């Protein structure tokens, strides 16, 4: 084992990447998934056909389909980190805590990276959002969980680096003179900002002028299609009357909140919730109410949750390049077609956009800078290409100061640079 070797890990809500500082040099994105169109990207997915077997990334999707969608597929599980009420799940009679779920995934990343490098590694630089939560206590709780997960995966020495700061390290290599730069990193789970003084060479702690962010991004934007339109197909507004009761009740908010979000909907299959939905179906007020709840059972029992949200994400992407997009899902009992417009998407996303840019304003305020004092704005991550995000940045900073990275590797490249910095005896913080 080489003690100067550090893995750099960009553990994302949707995709994960690994680089390394090894034998005195940088190793950019390692090939982790030979079945992916980009082998350096491993989708952050866990698929358990049964409790003793797990698949990851592209193979998770492949096996999930091959096994007739039996078992449990988990996506966006990183987003549960700040939630103290979310302890994990149960696979048959086996308890799987969130820390272990993430640890299992990190361990797989570690094994694949070690195989690529030909050495075992116990040290890592891992990216973290600027904020897992707007609540400082929940944010610390999430980081503590990540530390436990990293130790579960076999890492003995871990440094957590804010992801927008890592992206800043990557952008620094493009500069020929000193500039005040705003970095915006938009992933599946969080939107993160750093204001930093960047120069071609050298780095000092005081160069970081401010770091901020919020736990809203791509997944939250996906959820608006469900919460404003599609969840009606699955009983979100269904009414029911319990036996011997006189009150007409509606589907509880706790159920619809899970239904709307890709990270939470999979947990509708857990026993207590599942039995409650079964009771709602039996007590539905009208045939139309019962049909909607029946669709929810098909969605859950036939394991159509993942492909359904994939179609939602495709619709969101289409609206990045077109004013209109048709959502079309074709599965027996779930034949759904809906047309969406860019204006609808913008309207539904207004609250999310407001909170994202409120955290940007806070970041600038903490740096004691106005938008006019920022020389360059660099955006990275898939959600950065969504028009409602792009247009807001253009309005605030002007198109001439805006750079958008279309690839997913900026954060990883910066984490790898930070790993080299630490491995050679320097301190980031």
Residues 6+ apart with CB under 8 A from 364: 182, 195, 210, 370, 371, 374
Question: Is residue 67 assigned to a domain?
Answer: yes
- Residues 290, 142, single domain; the answer is no
- Residues 24, 155, single domain; the answer is yes
Model pLDDT for residues 136-181, shown as the tens digit of each residue: 999 999 999 999 999 999 999 999 998 888 888 888 877 788 999 9
Q: In the predicted model, is pLDDT for residue 425 greater than 80?
A: no
Residues 6+ apart with CB under 8 A from 354: none
Model pLDDT for residues 98-115, shown as the tens digit of each residue: 999 999 999 999 999 999
Q: In the predicted model, is pLDDT for residue 407 greater than 60?
A: no
- Residues 79, 117, single domain; the answer is yes
Contact present, 409 and 28 (Cβ < 8 Å): yes
Q: In the predicted model, is pLDDT for residue 257 greater than 70?
A: yes
Q: In the predicted model, is pLDDT for residue 68 greater than 80?
A: no
* Residue at which a domain ends, from 336, 358, 382: 336
Say what the pLDDT of residue 408 is: 66
Contact present, 377 and 184 (Cβ < 8 Å): yes
Q: In the predicted model, is pLDDT for residue 418 greater than 60?
A: yes
Say what the pLDDT of residue 306 is: 83
The CA distance from 421 to 193, in Å, is 22
- pLDDT tier at 66, thresholds 50, 70, 90: confident
Question: Is residue 240 assigned to a domain?
Answer: yes
Contact present, 73 and 306 (Cβ < 8 Å): yes
Q: How many CA atoms lie within 13 A of 103 on its CB side?
A: 17
- Residues 142, 17, single domain; the answer is yes
Residues 6+ apart with CB under 8 A from 18: 7, 8, 9, 10, 29, 30, 32, 109, 112, 113, 412
The CA distance from 313 to 33, in Å, is 22
- Residues 386, 416, single domain; the answer is no
- Residues 52, 71, single domain; the answer is yes
Q: In the predicted model, is pLDDT for residue 1 greater than 70?
A: no
**What is the average pLDDT across 297-315?**
88
- With a pLDDT cut of 90, the percent of the chain lying above it is 55
CA 282-250-253 angle, to 5 degrees, is 115
- With a pLDDT cut of 70, the percent of the chain lying above it is 98
Residues 6+ apart with CB under 8 A from 118: none
Q: In the predicted model, is pLDDT for residue 33 greater than 60?
A: yes
Model pLDDT for residues 307-316, shown as the tens digit of each residue: 899 899 999 9
- Residues 257, 193, single domain; the answer is no
- Residues 118, 131, single domain; the answer is yes
Q: In the predicted model, is pLDDT for residue 264 greater than 90?
A: no
Q: Which domain holds residue 204?
A: 176-218+349-404
Report which of 410, 375, 397, 414 is spatially closest to residue 177, judged by C-alpha positions: 375
Q: Which domain CATH number covers 186?
A: 3.30.420.40
Say what the pLDDT of residue 4 is: 81
State the chain's mean pLDDT as an integer: 90
**What is the average pLDDT across 57-75?**
87
Q: Where are the beta strands (DSSP E) in 298-392?
A: 324-329, 336-341, 376-380
Say what the pLDDT of residue 371 is: 95
- Residues 21, 139, single domain; the answer is yes
The CA distance from 334 to 304, in Å, is 9
Q: What are 18's strand-pairing partners?
A: 9
**Number of C-beta neighbours around residue 1 at 10 A:** 9
pTM for this one? Answer: 0.77
Q: In the predicted model, is pLDDT for residue 391 greater than 60?
A: yes
* Residue at which a domain ends, from 336, 368, 391: 336
Total domains, the chain: 3
Question: Is residue 341 assigned to a domain?
Answer: no
Model pLDDT for residues 169-206, shown as the tens digit of each residue: 888 877 788 999 999 988 888 899 989 998 877 777 78
- pLDDT tier at 3, thresholds 50, 70, 90: low
Question: Is residue 343 assigned to a domain?
Answer: no
Question: Is residue 262 assigned to a domain?
Answer: yes
Question: Is residue 415 assigned to a domain?
Answer: yes
- Residues 71, 117, single domain; the answer is yes
Say what the pLDDT of residue 189 is: 85
Question: Is residue 79 assigned to a domain?
Answer: yes
Model pLDDT for residues 349-369, shown as the tens digit of each residue: 999 999 999 999 999 999 999
The CA distance from 220 to 228, in Å, is 12
- Residues 296, 386, single domain; the answer is no
* Residue at which a domain ends, from 336, 360, 378: 336
- Residues 309, 390, single domain; the answer is no
Model pLDDT for residues 321-358, shown as the tens digit of each residue: 899 999 999 999 999 999 999 999 999 999 999 999 99
Question: Is residue 388 assigned to a domain?
Answer: yes
């Amino acid at each position: 084992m080489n003690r100067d070797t550090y893995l750099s890990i960009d553990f994302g809500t949707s995709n994960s990447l690994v680089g390394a500082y090894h034998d005195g040099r940088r190793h950019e994105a390692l090939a982790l998934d030979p079945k992916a169109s980009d082998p350096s990207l491993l989708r952050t997915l866990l698929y358990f056909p049964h409790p003793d077997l797990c698949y990851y990334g592209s193979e998770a999707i492949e096996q999930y389909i091959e096994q007739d969608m039996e078992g449990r597929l988990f996506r966006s599980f990183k987003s549960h980190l700040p939630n103290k009420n979310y302890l994990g799940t149960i696979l048959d009679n086996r308890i799987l805590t969130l820390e272990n779920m993430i640890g299992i995934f990190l361990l797989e990343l570690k094994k694949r990276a070690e195989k690529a490098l030909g050495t075992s590694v116990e040290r890592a630089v891992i990216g973290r959002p600027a904020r897992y939560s707007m609540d400082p206590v929940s944010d610390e709780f999430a980081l503590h969980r990540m530390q436990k997960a990293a130790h579960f995966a076999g890492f003995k020495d871990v440094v957590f680096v804010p992801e927008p700061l890592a992206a800043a390290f990557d952008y620094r290599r493009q500069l020929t003179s000193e500039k005040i730069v705003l970095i915006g990193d938009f992933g599946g789970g969080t939107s993160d900002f750093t204001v930093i003084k960047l120069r071609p060479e050298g780095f000092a702690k005081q160069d970081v002028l401010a770091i901020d962010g919020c736990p809203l991004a791509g997944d939250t934007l996906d959820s608006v299609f469900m919460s404003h339109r599609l969840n009606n197909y699955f009983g979100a507004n269904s009414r029911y009357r319990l036996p011997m009761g006189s009150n007409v009740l509606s589907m509880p908010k706790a159920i619809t909140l899970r239904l709307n979000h890709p990270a939470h909907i999979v947990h509708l299959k857990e026993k207590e919730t599942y039995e409650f939905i079964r009771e709602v179906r039996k007590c539905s007020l009208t045939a139309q109410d019962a049909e909607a709840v029946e669709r929810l059972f098909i969605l859950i029992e036939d394991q159509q949750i993942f492909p359904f949200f994939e179609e939602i994400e495709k619709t969101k992407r289409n609206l990045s390049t077109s004013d209109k997009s048709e959502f079309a899902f074709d599965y027996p009992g779930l034949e759904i077609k809906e047309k969406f417009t860019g204006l609808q998407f913008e309207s539904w996303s207004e609250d999310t956009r407001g909170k994202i840019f409120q955290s940007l304003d806070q970041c600038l305020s903490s740096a004691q800078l106005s938008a006019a004092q920022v020389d360059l704005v660099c955006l990275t991550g898939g959600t950065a290409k969504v028009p409602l995000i792009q247009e807001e940045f253009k309005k605030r900073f002007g198109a001439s100061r805006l750079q958008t990275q279309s690839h997913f590797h900026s954060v990883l490249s910066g984490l790898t640079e930070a790993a080299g910095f630490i491995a050679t005896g320097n301190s980031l913080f």
